[in-house]
Amino acid sequence: MTRVTSGEGVLFGLRMWRNGFGFSVLRSPHPTPICLRSSVHGTFPPSSSAGRIPQPASLHTFSSLSSDSDSDIATMTITLNPDFGANDHLFPPLPRIRSFVIERQVFTHRSFFARAAHVFEDPIDDLSPDNEKFELLGDSVLQACITTLLMELFPGLRVGPATKVRAMVVANLTLAQISVKYKLQDRLRLHPAQAITLRASTNIRANIFEAFVGGLYKDQGLETVMRWVYPLFRPYAIAAYTIAREQHGLPPVQCALHTISPRRGSIVPQASPHPEPNELANMPVVGHLALFNQHLQKMGKSIEWNYTDEMDARVAPSTRGTKATPVWAVSVYVDGQFLGSGKGATKKVARNEAAKAALILLGIEVW
């Protein structure tokens, strides 16, 4: 799905599947005509048989009515309103990339040199001088920094909600807004014929920010990036966290405006570590049986279990069970072939031991 912007507001797409073809329905919170874009049939006007799509009242309304995957996409298009204090006095200054070579490449768009786009690999003596590799690097570095920031800001936040919060924080719309604040797009070297259009593009503005992060990381390392990124994205993270709580139906909470130390790996520890569950220490492992059944199901084989009670007089007295503490023995056969045997105080434990022996015989790694 592709997100685009217009002068009227943010448009976002909902992937629809109809008769085996993929349609992207472009919706806007403004009463403007809607088109159905199909990768097969081109563009259909609102008057076509596809009909008009009703306008959502707001981004939040659309998010609540859509599926989980579509809700995640819609969440990333929400505009965040970070608090940088009066007159944005807490907005951090842009750090300087010391290397002239790296800085020049960071601010060079692919159109400037008109290099071919669909090339698998550049010759080692003619590497592409644009910023796309720094953009790729910056994306990974930024994801790691924001994930660490969220773990420090909200140590109790679970992985699912944290992923949604991070998606809002690093969304193209957010990164483009930051890029505009720093006027990064004004420094971008572009082909003159495309300069106006590309500088106005949300995606290009977001890309140049990611390229700058990648260039700064390459130039001065992760510590420098974190010292800049933490105070920059902390208000965005709080704003996204507030929206995520609202979407989950939770009451708002106050987030203290303190500075987080950008030390590498400075995750907030738990106040009182959880004690190890004592009941797990002596619990028998029975997972081999499930793994054995899973493999046999895939192979389409039939399983036969043969049980014997080891109170039998033929069993050696040292391993013989009693009425109070019976010992069960079981042999497992697959399509009539013996694969293993096991013993246990219950039939289930005995089956698990037999399954473990059978897995080893089948060459499957067990623990």
Residue 282 within a domain? no
Greater pLDDT, 269 or 241: 241
Provide the CATH number for the domain around residue 308: 3.30.160.20
Alpha helices in the chain (DSSP H): 59-65, 68-75, 100-106, 110-113, 132-153, 159-169, 172-182, 195-199, 202-220, 222-247, 287-299, 347-361
pTM of the model: 0.65
Does residue 228 share a domain with residue 162?
Answer: yes
String of DSSP letters for 78-126: SPP-----GGGTTSPPPPPP--HHHHHHHTB-HHHHT--SS-S---TTS
Place of tokens 């022996």: 357
Spatial separation of the C-alpha atoms in residues 29 and 35, rounded to whole Å: 14
Greater pLDDT, 13 or 193: 193
String of DSSP letters for 179-213: HHHHTGGGG-B--TTTHHHHHT-HHHHHHHHHHHH
Does residue 56 share a domain with residue 107?
Answer: no
Spatial separation of the C-alpha atoms in residues 184 and 198, rounded to whole Å: 12
Q: Evaluate whether 352 touches 291 at the Cβ level (below 8 Å).
A: no
Q: How many domains does the chain have?
A: 3
- Max avg pLDDT among 57-61, 154-158, 271-275: 154-158
Does residue 63 share a domain with residue 31?
Answer: yes
Range of the domain at 340: 290-361
Residue 260 within a domain? no
Q: Which amino acid is at 367?
A: W
Provide the CATH number for the domain around residue 136: 1.10.1520.10
What pLDDT was estimated at residue 297? 84
Q: Which amino acid is at 49?
A: S
Q: For residue 322, report the phi and psi dihedrals to the nearest 5 degrees.
A: -125, 175
In tens, the pLDDT along 332-360 reads 998 888 988 888 888 888 888 898 888 88
What pLDDT was estimated at residue 364? 84
Number of residues that make up the chain: 367
First and final CA of the chain: distance in angstroms? 43
